[in-house]
Amino acid sequence: MIHRRSPRGARYTTAARTSAGGGRNSPRQWRALSGAILALALAGDVGATESLQAWREVFQSVDQSLQSGVPIDYGPLLAYPLYPYLRYRELSRRLPELPAAEVRDFLQRHGDSPLAGQLRNAWLRRLADAGRWDDYLRDAVPTRDPTFDCWRRQALLHAGQTEAALRDFADTWLRGESLPTACDPVIAAWRTQGGPSPALLWRRFALAMASRGLGLARALRAELPVADQALADAWLAVAENPQRILDDSRFQADDPRIAAILSDGLQRWGRRDAPGAAAALDTLKQRRPALASRLAEAERLLALWIASDHHPSALARLSALPDSVADGAVREWRVRVCLRQGDWPAALRWLDRLSDPERDSPRWRYWRGRALEELGRTEEARQVYRAIAGQRDYHGFLAADRLGLPYAIPDAPLRIAPTELDALLRRSPGLQRARELYVLGREPEAAAEWRLAIRGFDGPTLQQAALLAHRWDWHHQAIATLARAEYWDDLELRFPLAYRDGVVNNARASALDPAWVYAVIRQESGFRPDARSPAGALGLMQIMPATGREIAGELRDATADAPARLLQADANIRYGVHYLRRILERLQDNPVLATAAYNAGPNKVAQWLPARAPVPADVWAETIPYQETRSYVLRVLEYATIYTRRLGLPEPVSTLGARMKPVRPVDAPLVNGVSTPPRPPA
């Protein structure tokens, strides 16, 4: 078994560390050293683990030498899985020499590695910079990247193939964001052939407006025919102040493009004031009845935003939508509005209006049972609950709680012989490279190799691969790969107990449920200690650096060095547990509210508290305005229930029902001076 790797860069022996540092050996000495180590490994003079470790140490030192620009003979590492990375390192540094034959040889030999795509892109960039267009055409591959697409078209232009160069170029050009400079020569050639037409110019202007690309839109406006510029100016004015959609003098009544402008203005207005925008929509429909059908999508969005704000007019708005836009989101929010209002007869009526697949889902079957129960139709409700109480999910657990039944949490571990796993590893160079990169702490590269290696695997082989990753303690990859295999019953792989001491000890020190902490980690990072979100959150529990500094001050952690500290598993767990405790105390000591706050922030959750009467926790969770947060809360609560079983915790005090306290009304304003983020889809 591959054990969890040491901290980054801590795998060198003393000899290797010296060789890679200031007292660097000569290339001849390195050949002798690496050859000697590998000869011992191949001769079996050391154990298998020690042998592989020797290869890793030599690889890291050679790789560091190449990265520093020191020539070194890495030929003795030819049999090591990561040899292509050394070759890639050398070729990348030598690309200015334009070694075409060597690059093509690499692409042919190592096309099964992500390195091939990386080297090809770097090579094509170099060829484009050097104007080597014949070579570019030889080595280019189909791509959706506009830069490389336009370089390929430039190469065709240089080859005198103008028709081929401009074929379907409108598809590349027609986008709502600016094109790279590589496209400028192609656009110039296109213009000599009569492109783009006024109709295409307007379509791209509309795309730019829809993408909020006002700079591009203004540039395109200057190219529009004079007859179209006035309408473009009207749209730009609406973008600046959406209330201008009510100014009829800006729009010609018979222009079919007006609907897009009005729809865009309504959406911009609705993001700040959905009821106000809906009132403006009513006015527009009265003035221009013929446009009503073309404004239906904007009407749908406004109705959903109003519903997610729990506005009194929500149900009327949702009910009035035409069938053409009454999709699943609309049907579900009609039910949610009734749930939040406690109107159980209406909830039952709208539940009957769901589509068959929606109505048969565990979510809406549970809510049918709840509605029947609230209406005193107890036996019917129990029948509905019994139908889903045997399912291992959030709504199945809720149904079991309503019936007082134990949870159904089946666990069927994969039964795959170690010899099968070893055989899979032997026949997959990509998996071998992924393992070595992961052990060496190069997880992003390891993940890229893994994704490419398993791309063509069937279900049983994906199961084997998932078990391999689990055997290496690569939990994130095991979870993701098992999901691709659509195998849901191996709970050890899907819900690992990694970092158990850190989770349990910190949770108990803060008087928190360790199953809940585990559930948050599982949802936030899938047990990736070096996880980084696009927003900048770090580590197992995805803590923002600013929050980490705050917590470090509260914990008086003098060694805190965000973000580096947050990428250490022990510190991240300690900080995350501390933050959970803090928001739990702030939000009624209610795990449902604290879970929502971990995703959306405590200020936002404070805004979602009921104004008057308490709301049952299941109703509150189902009617969370943000879809992402709503799904997040349900998954964490489901995972916490499973982790209760995995940890062997007593269920009477750790059931889903025990975690779901009624949500009390807000006692006092908790939000001061906090700006409202952009509205996500409901």
Q: Are 396 and 389 in contact (CB under 8 A)?
A: yes
Q: Is 524 a catalytic residue?
A: yes
> Bridge partners of 538?
532, 543
Return phi, psi of residue 53, to 5°: -65, -35
Alpha-carbon torsion, ordered 299, 301, 307, 308, to 10 deg: -160
Prior bond of 322 cis (ω within 30°): no
Q: Are 393 and 638 in contact (CB under 8 A)?
A: yes
Of 443, 524, 622, 638, the catalytic one is 524
Residue ranges of alpha helices (H) inside 390-529 are 394-403, 418-427, 429-439, 443-453, 459-471, 475-484, 491-494, 500-509, 514-524
* Rounded Cα gap, residues 483 and 476, in angstroms: 11
Q: Token digits for 254? A: 């018979």
Rg over CA atoms, the chain: 30
Crossing angle of the two packed helices 569-586 and 500-509, in degrees rounded to 10? 30
> Bridge partners of 532?
538
Q: Are 55 and 76 in contact (CB under 8 A)?
A: no
Task: Quote the DSSP letter at residue 175.
Answer: S
- Those residues whose C-beta lies under 8 Å from the C-beta of residue 186, and which sit 6 or more positions away, are 150, 153, 154, 157, 165, 166, 169
Q: Are 281 and 259 in contact (CB under 8 A)?
A: no
* Rounded Cα gap, residues 625 and 610, in angstroms: 13
What angle is formed at CA 233 by the lines to CA 227 and CA 238, rounded to 5 degrees?
A: 140
* Rounded Cα gap, residues 551 and 574, in angstroms: 10
Which positions are catalytic? 524
